[in-house]
Amino acid sequence: MSFGDPNNPYGPPQGQPGQPQAPQGQPAYPQAPQGQPGYGYPQAPPVGQPYGYGLPPEMPGLIKTARVLLFILAGFQLLVGIIVGIAGAALQDASNGLGSGDTTSMATGLVILIALLMLVIGSLSIFLGVKFKNGGSGIRITTIVYASLMILGSVVNIANGQGGSVTFGGLVSLAFGGIILAAMVNSAASAWFSRPRY
């Protein structure tokens, strides 16, 4: 019957019957019982517990990128909505001052409607970006639809822009929408949005 190396300082404690004694001059340290954690670092989590000791998992990098892009888009959308709304109101005031306010009120209403639409879309971008941290698969599906509509609108803007600022805006929007869509349809996004939440 073998008891291992008698010179091992981490061997069994001294004084137990049937156990070899540690040589003189070397301390004998007690061993932890089998199946129980020893001193120092805690044991690894059991198999099947994916994220360890109750620490939340970290958001994958591509999803973080999509989240940042949503916040950037929201800033642009809110800014454009505010500027278009102020410009539409100022044009209506100028038209009223010239006495032709009745003829321009339909166009001003359309401009104000576009401004409100931009504010709503910007608010949706912020909402989606905030919900990436704790949201479920509904947030992922909504973001996929949002990015798909953004890509479709970008293609229409590029086709109708005739090389002007609308075309440039369409290209930027197409790039943002493509990155966001790519981030939402990969397996890391599926795992992130369907992970268990405690």
Cα–Cα distance, 173 to 184 (Å, whole number): 16
In a domain, 167, yes or no: yes
In a domain, 133, yes or no: yes
- Does the predicted TM-score (pTM) go above 0.85? no
In a domain, 158, yes or no: yes
Cα–Cα distance, 166 to 35 (Å, whole number): 67
In a domain, 31, yes or no: no
Q: Which domain holds residue 70?
A: 61-193
In a domain, 77, yes or no: yes
Number of domains in the chain: 1
In a domain, 6, yes or no: no
Cβ(104)–Cβ(91) below 8 Å: yes
Cβ(180)–Cβ(66) below 8 Å: yes
What rounded mean pLDDT belongs to the chain? 78
Single-letter code of the amino acid located at 28: A
In a domain, 12, yes or no: no
Q: What is the pLDDT of residues 5-15, one digit of tens each?
A: 667 667 665 55
Cα–Cα distance, 21 to 3 (Å, whole number): 10
Q: Mean pLDDT across the stretch 134-141?
A: 88
In a domain, 33, yes or no: no
Q: What is the pLDDT of residues 161-184, one digit of tens each?
A: 666 777 788 888 899 999 999 999
Single-letter code of the amino acid located at 95: S
R_g (Cα) of the chain, nearest Å = 32
